[in-house]
Amino acid sequence: MSSTKKLPLFTLGVEEEYQIIDPETRDLRSHMSKIVEGGKIHLREQVKAEMHQAVVEVGTNICKNIGEARKEVGFLRGQVAQLASRQNLLVGAAGTHPFSKWQDQEITDDERYHHIVNELRDIARSNLIFGLHVHVGIEDRNTALQLMNQACYFLPHIFALSTNSPFWEGRNTGFKAFRAKVFAKFPRTGLPEYFDSVQSYDNYLETLVKTNCIDNPKKIWWDLRMHPFFSTIEFRICDVCLTLDETICITALIQAVVAKLYKLHVKNTSFNIYRIALIRENKFRAARNGLEGKMIDFGRKVEVPTHELIVELLEFIDDVVDELGSREEVEYVHTILKNGTGADQQLEVFEKTQDLKAVVDLITSKFQQGI
């Protein structure tokens, strides 16, 4: 870096949601909390039940850099696979299951989930989806809000690289990331609106709590949010990735975008803030086409092949990745561009076999790859 001023640490936290799968039927299978209970012995709060019993959520400790994040996510994937194997079950990572029906899935017996189901009914019951959430540590809330406003522009680019949910209830949806469409039924989801100050953001939250729209600020489920309890901004737009390498690449990319925007912010040369209504157009294109097709460069007001925009994004963050120690992880983007996303790989297997069970076999076989 040309400046002698060092970047802050930009600590990381990674959460992934996994599918628990029956090796015979390849369908989702309730783990009856045995995996979560077994995990608590070694992993304590790092492994959690989710609303549906066939879902297990894991979360890393706070990681100082991308190397630590890789070790943690790799360890958690390995541990969950081991716990599942003791129950004669498999684990996979994809944004949706290729053919499982939500109507057949049991809800975890927990007061929090009963409350959500009571409030949202079939919207909650049908929310059988699996995401990747990445937290980036930022101590100052004013700075965090400014970076959140600016980072929205890059959400569709990052999302396109993570697309991994082309199938839903046995159908090829025609989307590379149908998970986003399932989740869109929830209130307070999608791209966050622009806030000009922390005070206006807090007023918004306070109004929702006071008027019984929500009982706590965690029920803001946007694609990107300032976390209500941690000093982080949390990127929630991505499908969970097939492999560890993809997860770490996306995590490194997110961290680098935040670091670059921060670097501009402290020099008073902040990145342009575009209308959320415009960014929503790119999000739709990313969900529909993944890395294929075009997205919009709003600065130039032209359509550009998505591949080109992602290469431009790599150039934009190039001056921060060495200080973050994440060049190798960020450059894995080129491998994703070459080999396709999880969605592309799922669709390729289905095209060859016309068999959704073979697609599930791909998902489970990739789960521990690279650990």
Task: Note the pLDDT tens digit of each residue in 186-195.
Answer: 999 999 999 9
Whether 138 contacts 235, CB under 8 Å: no
Query: What is the predicted pLDDT for the residue at 3?
Result: 44
Quick one: pLDDT band at residue 72, thresholds 50, 70, 90? very high
- In tens, the pLDDT along 270-292 reads 788 999 999 999 999 999 999 99
Is 7 within the bounds of a domain? no
Is 200 within the bounds of a domain? yes
Is 1 within the bounds of a domain? no
CATH code of the domain containing 60: 3.30.590.20
Identify any residues that bridge with 91 across adjacent strands, giving them in sequence order: 20
Is 4 within the bounds of a domain? no
Q: Is 294 exposed, middle or buried, given 0-12, 13-18 or 19+ CB atoms closer than 10 A?
A: middle
What whole-number percentage of the chain has pLDDT above 70?
Answer: 99
Mean pLDDT, rounded, of the chain: 95
Q: Higher confidence at residue 48 or residue 135?
A: 135
Q: Would you give the end-to-end CA distance of the chain in angstroms?
A: 32
Answer yes or no: is pLDDT of 269 > 90.
no
pTM: 0.96
Q: Which helix (H) or strand (E) holds 309?
A: helix 306-324
Is 213 within the bounds of a domain? yes
* Distance (Å, whole) CA 116 – CA 93: 24
Is 221 within the bounds of a domain? yes
DSSP state of 153: G
Range of the domain at 137: 12-366
Query: What is the predicted pLDDT for the residue at 2?
Result: 43
Is 371 within the bounds of a domain? no
Whether 54 contacts 17, CB under 8 Å: no
Number of domains in the chain: 1
* HSE value, Cβ hemisphere, 13 Å, CA-based, for 117: 15
175-180-183 Cα angle (round to 5):
135
* Distance (Å, whole) CA 214 – CA 175: 31
Is 56 within the bounds of a domain? yes
